[in-house]
Structure 1
Amino acid sequence: MKTILLWFLLLVFCVVALWIGRYEMGWRQIGCVFLSWFQEGICEQNRNAQIILSLRLPRIVLEIFVGMGLAASGASFQSVFKNPLATPDILGVSSGASFGAILGLVLGLGKMGMIAISLGFGFLALGVVALIAKGSQEYGTIMLVLGGIIVSALFQSFLSLIKYIADPQDVLPAITYWLLGSLQVSGFDEIYLGIIGIAMGCVIIYLFRWKLNILALDDDEARSLGIRLRFYRTLFICSSTLVVVFVVSMCGLIGWVGLLIPHMARLLRGSDNAEVIPLSLAFGAIFMVFLDTLSRSISTDEIPVSILSALFGAPLFIYILKNNKGIRL
């Protein structure tokens, strides 16, 4: 019931997000745009249709998928690594994908080129982490985390090098703004590939979500239940990596969502991932729609969404810590 209410709340947020913006638009004008799909010429709306169908609606769809993807991958990593502070960038994938996207931006490869090269470097980062952890089965998850720290630092140094040699008048501001995170798009053509990738990762996590309860146990206890630890760890890590890479390639770095949202879900449903994952998907979508609506409407210039995610995420996480007397899986 709570999950259904959250999805209804998401629908309300999306309708409000269509209405709010720098360009004022009434409910009748918005209704005309959607009614014109079924009956042409019902009202004059060329400019309104362009704003809603090319700017606001694609952006809202992207917000929903980004929020769901980051929340689901965060919940997945927290169980796989048995760490309530695990986030989607724990394996250095975000840094690798960011480096790839910035390289594509500097080389002028366009949106699809940025996504492709970001995908390549994101999975390259994961592969390097896997090589570091290879052969250390007893401390497998610990070695993965340590490898992630090393790889993240390596790609952050590459990012700093690109920023150092970039043109300070033109390229450097674009890099800095992109790294702060933005969901600004100009049509569905820019996001459909990323949405497909995020949806694939989310579907896999959702379908096998109950396995996360077993992965959160000690390894010996999990093996005694007959689960194939290596297979399911790899499945969840690759699915979450797929989500993170596509989010980073399209929107830049967006923090706090993957850390905060799963704990909000656990406040309502405890530690059962069969319930936590669906709630995280809904909470993540609502959180991102709310944040991005604020980012594009509370000032004349758009505020990077990562700034707002930190401003809202930190106090909420403090509340969860105080309410729970700590954090749990």
Structure 2
Amino acid sequence: MKILFALIFIIILSLIILGIGRFELSYLQIFDILLGKTEGREAFILLELRLPRVILALIVGASLSVAGASFQAIFRNPLASPDILGVASGAAFGAVLALLLGLNIYLLTAFSFSFGLLSLALVLLIAKDSHNKIMIILSGVIISALFQSFISLLKYIADPQDTLPVITYWLLGSLQVGNLKQMIICSLGMIIGSIIIVIYRFKHNILMLEDIEARSLGLNIKALRLGLIFASTLIVACVVSICGIIGWIGLIVPHIARMIAGFNTAKVIATSLFIGAIFMLIIDTLSRSLAQQELPISILSAVVGAPFFIAILYKAKGMRI
């Protein structure tokens, strides 16, 4: 019943948001266009611009949120987020390299995904044979800093009149859909990663236990942890390849879900799925509606996320996390 209510709420909210923007559409027009009764400029705006963007916002928000909830369970750390292993920075470097080389959108996606996986491989290589999860987190911080420095180098050598503005704007994050095929491919990757995490959501509770206790229950901790990390990596790489870097969502939403659903990680993941979709939908609507020019999503998500992050740190002060 709760799932049905959440789905109905998301559908109604999406229909409302379809009418919001610099070019207003009445809801009568929206229904006529969706039913194929109206064509022209209004149909183009709705079907080619707003509807794909709303769908992408729902998928991106839900995917990043479940990835964040999964990471927080894997590392038993409430401050964990989807880019904790440097995957976002690696994927961003791959995309920036493709932009610098002037490659097409498909190669950009391939570069982003490949370097996202490379960053994960480097992290696991550095933390090889280490049973300390803090070592994996620190490895992620190192690799993230490394790829961020590479991104800065590429920005330094990029053409300041042509390529550099494109790179800078892309890194700030946007859900503007430029290529429908790319959106479908990347969305499939996000959906597959999210499905894997949702299927194994109940086993996340076991991951919250110490490894010795979890093994005593007959669970292959290493295989499960690696599988979930790869699923989250797939999500982050696909998001970055099409939207740029979108921060804070994977950190904020699981905490909101935990306030609503309690500390049962299975319920937190399921709740994060819906809250993340709604949160991203609202942020994206503000991004394209507040000003004449679209505001980068990372700016708005940071405005909300930074105070929330400070509150988490204050609450965790003096606690072992």
Instruction: Give the counterpart of 2:103 among 109, 122, 131.
Output: 109
Q: Aligned ranges for residues 1-329 of structure 1 at < 5 Å?
A: 1-36=1-36, 42-43=37-38, 45-137=39-131, 139=132, 141-186=133-178, 188-317=180-309
Give the Å deviation of 1:30: 1.1
Task: Tell me which amino acid in the other structure corresponds to 1:10.
Answer: I
**Per-residue deviation, 1:13:** 2.0
User: SS of the counterpart of 1:191?
Assistant: helix
Compute the displacement of 1:325 (Å).
9.6
CA–CA distance in structure 2, aligned partners of residues 260 and 246 of structure 1: 20
What amino acid sits opposite 2:34 in the alignment?
Answer: F
Aligned length: 321
Cα distance in 1 for residues equivalent to 2:98 and 2:228: 27
With the length of structure 2 as denominator, give the TM-score of the two structures: 0.95
Structure 2: tracts of 5 or more residues without a match:
none
Check whether the contact 1:74–1:86 (CA below 8 A) recurs between aligned residues: yes
The CA deviation at 1:9 is 2.4
Q: TM-score, normalised by structure 1?
A: 0.92
Q: Residues 92 and 319 of structure 1: is their aligned pair in 2 closer, same or farther, counting only changes over 3 Å? A: closer
Deviation at 1:207, TM superposition (A): 0.3
Distance 2:236 2:165 in 1: 24
In structure 2, how many angstroms separate the alpha carbons of the residues matched to 1:123 and 1:295? 30
SS at match of 1:23: coil
Which secondary structure does the structure 2 equivalent of 1:300 belong to? coil
Instruction: Decide whether the 8 Å contact of 1:3 with 1:278 is kept in 2.
Output: no
Structure 1 residues 162 and 324: alpha-carbon distance in aligned structure 2, compared to 1, 3 A threshold: closer
Partners of 1:23 and 1:186 in 2: CA distance? 19
Distance 1:115 1:316 in 2: 32
Q: Tell me, in whole angstroms, the C-alpha distance in 1 between the residues paired with 2:320 and 2:4.
A: 25
CA distance in structure 2 between the aligned counterparts of 1:291 and 1:320, rounded to whole angstroms = 21
Paired residue secondary structure (1:200): helix
Give 5+ residue unaligned stretches, structure 1. 37-41
Say if 1:205 and 1:236, in contact at 8 Å, map to a contact too.
yes
Shift of the 318–135 alpha-carbon distance from structure 1 to 2, 3 Å rule, reads closer
Deviation at 1:316, TM superposition (A): 4.4
- Provide, for residues 174-202 of structure 1, a one-character-per-residue CA deviation record: whole Å limited to 9, x for no partner: 11111110000145323000000000000
Q: Distance in 2 between matches of 1:274 and 1:21?
A: 36
Aligned to 1:39: none
Q: How far does the alpha carbon of each residue in 1:35-91 deviate from its partner, in whole angstroms, 9 at most, with x for none?
A: 11xxxxx34x22111111111011111101100111010000000011000010110
1:5 CA drift (Å): 3.2
* 2:63 counterpart SS class: helix
1:278 deviation in Å? 1.1
Q: State the distance in 2 between where 1:202 and 1:309 align.
A: 21
Counterpart Cα distance in 2 of 1:198 and 1:328: 32
Q: Letter of the 2:217 partner, please give it.
A: L
